[in-house]
Structure 1
Amino acid sequence: MPTLPLTLAVITHNEADNIARCLDSVPFAAEKLVIDSGSDDDTVAIAQAHGARVMRQTWLGFGPQRNFATTQCSHDWILVLDADEYLTPELATELQQRLPALMASNTPAAYLRRSTIYMGAPMRWYRPAVGEQMARLYHRGRARWSDARVHESLHFDGTAPTLGAPFNHTNNPTLAHKQLKVLRYAELKCRDWLDKGKPVRMWQAPFVFALAFLKDYLFRLAFMDGWRGFMIAHTAASYAIYKRMRYYEMVKNPESVARAAHILSHHGIDR
């Protein structure tokens, strides 16, 4: 298949089960770059076997890690995927057709639509999991990732087109994976809040869970996806309140930051 002057950039840590599918879904990328933060499984070997150039980089946080990856790419145009994401054949075809004109323009970036597979099946109604628009294709001279440790975003000026076909996200193969991810993401978000000196507002806590649950379950249509929708809304609400309680603990008991980092690292969660 003809290649295009594009780098597929993926950040990894113990993604042996996913990385081959991710890399193989972008056969037209002239370069495939994997930035690995210390995997102790077969991630690196599998990535290399599937045509990727692998670099090691100690974990910096999601935003800084993506910005580091940007500096290591051989091409100005970059497609970012997580290891548990992959292009559908329809999106791969659309990208091949539209990329030459996009690259020849002054467009800073493009949005892709993400479809989520949760508990083994696609979500059909829950709005954030059905066609969620995400800026994942960009020119590195015209866009930059935020420096947030988690929930990073791509910043750029001007307008960006949205492609029609989706890419897939296999969102946490089990509920156990999801709960571990909640712990990790909450810890990273709280450290960002700590760095910024965010005020502690525990008076919000009694309302946070209920409002977060209702937002996802009713207004974002999670209830239409049955019990899977209930679980995804419940997990989102639990995350919303847990990170506030954890931040309160960090402020009131600063030594808990290091102690938590130690136990999370011991279980392979903190990086």
Structure 2
Amino acid sequence: MPQLPLTLVVMTHNEAAVIGRCLDSVPFAAEKLVIDCGSTDATLEVARAHGARVVHQDWLGFGPQRNFGTTQASHPWILVLDADEFLSPELARELEQRLPQVMASDAAVGILRRRTLYMGAPMRWYRPMVGEKLARLYHRDRARWRDVRVHESLTWDGPQASFKAPFEHENNPTLVHKGLKVLRYAELKARDWQQKGRKPRMWDCALVFATTFFKDYVLRLAMFDGWRGFAVSQTNASYAVYKRMRYYEMCRNPASVAMAGEVLIRHGLDR
């Protein structure tokens, strides 16, 4: 497959088990760049063996870390994947065929569809895991990641191109992985709220749980994915409530921020 003037950027921390698959799924990228924040497993060795250039950067938060990766890319067009994501062969072919035209245009971003594997198999009905649309391809002079600690997204100025074939996401191999991610993401979100001076709102927790569960289970069709749909709806609703409870605790007991930080560091989650 011919190479295109494009940089694949992947952020890593202890991703030795999946980084090779991610990198190999983009054979047309002229550059593969891994931004690592301190892996202690074989991530760096595996990444280099699969053709990546590795740059170390201490963790800055999701948005700032991605913006740092943008500055390190050798090409103006950038494709971003997480280490547990990879292009399907169909999307790789579509990108190879269409990218030259898109890159020659005034487009700012490319919108890709993400298909998720959950509990070992693809979800079939739950909308966010079947065809979630994400801006993952962009021109660095026309788009920028929001400077937030978690739930980052691209902002851009200009037209967008859309691609039909999906890329794959192996979402949280087990519920244990999901639970650890919830702890980490909730902590980061609560710190963002604290920095902005938001008032804690415990009074709406029951309503938030009910509406989040209903939205996912019914409106987003998770109920048609059986017990897996129930599980994903319940964990999403629980996360929505937990981050509010955690933020209330931060405000009620400011010392908990440092105490929780020590625990997260000990388990490699404070990044």
- Give the corresponding residue for 1:170: 170
Cα distance in 2 for partners of 1:70, 1:206 equals 40
Contact 2:106-2:158 within 8 A present in 1 as well:
no
Structure 1 residue 161: Cα displacement: 1.7
Cα distance in 2 for partners of 1:108, 1:31 equals 20
- Give the corresponding residue for 1:149: 149
How high is the TM-score relative to the length of structure 1? 0.99
Cα distance in 2 for partners of 1:96, 1:132 equals 21
Matched letter for residue 33 of structure 2: L
Cα distance in 2 for partners of 1:159, 1:141 equals 13
How high is the TM-score relative to the length of structure 2? 0.99
Q: How does 1:1-271 map to 2 (within 5 A)?
A: 1-271=1-271
- Cα shift readout 1:119-155 (whole Å, capped 9, x = no counterpart): 1000000000011000000000000000010000000
Structure 1 residue 192: Cα displacement: 0.7
Matched letter for residue 39 of structure 2: S
- Cα shift readout 1:64-92 (whole Å, capped 9, x = no counterpart): 00000000000000000000000000000
Cα distance in 1 for partners of 2:106, 2:64 equals 25
Matched letter for residue 80 of structure 1: V
Count of residues in correspondence between the two structures = 271
Contact 2:9-2:79 within 8 A present in 1 as well:
yes
- Cα shift readout 1:144-170 (whole Å, capped 9, x = no counterpart): 000010000000023312100000000
Matched letter for residue 84 of structure 1: D
Matched letter for residue 188 of structure 1: L
Task: Name segments (4+ residues, structure 1) moved above 4 Å.
Answer: none
Matched letter for residue 183 of structure 1: L
Matched letter for residue 101 of structure 1: Q
Cα distance in 2 for partners of 1:4, 1:30 equals 6
Cα distance in 2 for partners of 1:109, 1:206 equals 38
Cα distance in 1 for partners of 2:126, 2:241 equals 21
Cα distance in 2 for partners of 1:33, 1:254 equals 39
CA RMSD of aligned residues (A): 0.7
- Structure 1 unmatched runs, 5+: none
